[in-house]
Structure 1
Amino acid sequence: MAAGRSGQTAARRRGTRAGGNSGSHRRGELLGIAAELFATRGYAETTVRDIADEAGILSGSLYHHFSSKEEMLDEILRDFLGPLLERFIAIEKEGENPEQILDELIRHSFAAIDASPVAVALYQNESTMLNRQSGFEYVAEIGKKIEKIWLQVLKAGQKSGVFRSDVDVNLSYRFIRDAIWSTVRWYRPRGKYKHEAVAVQFLTVLHGGLHTT
């Protein structure tokens, strides 16, 4: 993100915090509404007026909190991707062995889907657009850092003999990644299966397969 826009955003955030908790709460509500619309209608198809209408305010009132829908998208993505990367880094650093680390990476991924399904859906749906969007280069950069962590764990597992050496780690990563994050399309946080149970089922299939022998 350009330094000028970052400085302006930081200044607006400081101003909102200075205004008290009510301003921060309202800002959070508006971000939630925007994220839901971006994820369901599409970012390009959603206008500032759409967000304001859904929030029950005039479009001009929205600009008291955000300068544009681009700023809203930026904050939604940073709030999701930043902590996700930080947690993955901590899991790799604190893990005892490749298998335990991989399992924990998977468990946290399902926990992230449970905690932020709209942000996950938005990221999944708009990934192609984000790769072309000026000011959002950090999204791809974070994605590469996350991929590096997973690949390092898979390679370490192969080297130690815990994981099979006759499979390609790059393909394995993509199989695992896509299988996990695509569950946002059907997983419901208030549904029958909690994210912990879904993770256990996933790990059972990953480690043992479907064959009984």
Structure 2
Amino acid sequence: MGTGGGRRVGRPRAAQRPDSGLTPRAELLAAAAELFTTRGYAATTTRAVAERAGMRQASMYHYVSGKEELLAELLESTVTPSLTFARKLLADDAAPAGSRLWELCRTDVELLCGGPHNLGGLYLLPEVRTERFAGFHAVRAELKDAYRQLLAATPAGGVLAKSELDLRTDLLFGLIEGVILVHRSDPERPVSAFAEATADAALRIAGI
């Protein structure tokens, strides 16, 4: 624990640090989220992430393989909660599909914009197009399909040809993800009001 000792390879520390209450891996993710969204992904070094998390660079590799693993997990964290909620909505046949679609839009926007860092902005990184991020793309595609299923279950969506349904889904999903950029330009806007207004606009795109 001292500054000397000659140990060159970092040693995993205890499961939690008393000062933060986070596990080392969670600390690394929090540090990466801050640095990737403020300095930029390419400009952020693994050393900078480790230092922000309060550990040596060598110690970092006990918990993650590097920047790509951190980015992949951060990206998936922006989608997974919405997908979990979408699955519940799809299973709830008692509620009208239009109401469920509105609720998914609202909740998805709140999740995208409610965190301390604008992680959705990382979607635009050219690195995200590579095979390394296939897990993120698979989860995102499943969420988009949930939007499509709910739209198709509405009276307006049920009469659309497949090509038109696909287009409406693309537009609706694009609006939801695009709010990340709008919110970044007006971060003081209350997220709840912003989410409701976006959900209203999304249903107009859907023809509801």
Q: Do both proteins adopt the same fold according to a TM-score greater than 0.5, normalized to the shorter chain?
A: yes
Q: Find the residue that maps to 2:177 and give its secondary structure.
A: helix
| Separation in 2, partners of 1:39, 1:133 | 22
| Separation in 1, partners of 2:68, 2:157 | 45
- Letter matched to residue 86 of structure 1: T
| Separation in 2, partners of 1:155, 1:37 | 40
Post-superposition shift, 1:92? 2.0
Q: Find the residue that maps to 1:39 and give its secondary structure.
A: helix
Aligned residue in 2 for 1:185: 181
| Separation in 2, partners of 1:72, 1:185 | 22
Cα root mean square deviation, aligned: 3.2
**TM-score normalised by L of structure 2:** 0.72
- Check if 1:137 corresponds to 2:130: no
| Separation in 2, partners of 1:144, 1:194 | 28
CA distance change for structure 1 residues 70 and 207 in 2, over 3 Å: closer, same or farther?
Answer: closer
CA distance change for structure 1 residues 206 and 70 in 2, over 3 Å: closer, same or farther?
Answer: closer
Aligned residue in 1 for 2:98: 99
Kindly indicate whether the alpha-carbon contact (under 8 Å) linking 1:39 and 1:125 is maintained by their aligned counterparts in 2.
no
Aligned residue in 1 for 2:194: 198
| Separation in 2, partners of 1:72, 1:208 | 37
- Check if 1:114 corresponds to 2:113: yes
Unpaired segments ≥5 residues, structure 1: 1-14
Kindly indicate whether the alpha-carbon contact (under 8 Å) linking 1:35 and 1:119 is maintained by their aligned counterparts in 2.
yes
Kindly indicate whether the alpha-carbon contact (under 8 Å) linking 2:105 and 2:202 is maintained by their aligned counterparts in 1.
no
Unpaired segments ≥5 residues, structure 2: 1-11
- Check if 1:172 corresponds to 2:156: no
- Letter matched to residue 120 of structure 1: G
- Letter matched to residue 88 of structure 2: A
| Separation in 1, partners of 2:159, 2:190 | 30
Aligned residues: 188
Aligned residue in 1 for 2:6: none
Post-superposition shift, 1:21? 5.7
Kindly indicate whether the alpha-carbon contact (under 8 Å) linking 1:101 and 1:153 is maintained by their aligned counterparts in 2.
yes
| Separation in 2, partners of 1:156, 1:80 | 25
Aligned residue in 1 for 2:144: 147
- Check if 1:77 corresponds to 2:82: no
| Separation in 2, partners of 1:38, 1:144 | 24
% identical aligned pairs: 26
Kindly indicate whether the alpha-carbon contact (under 8 Å) linking 1:99 and 1:162 is maintained by their aligned counterparts in 2.
no
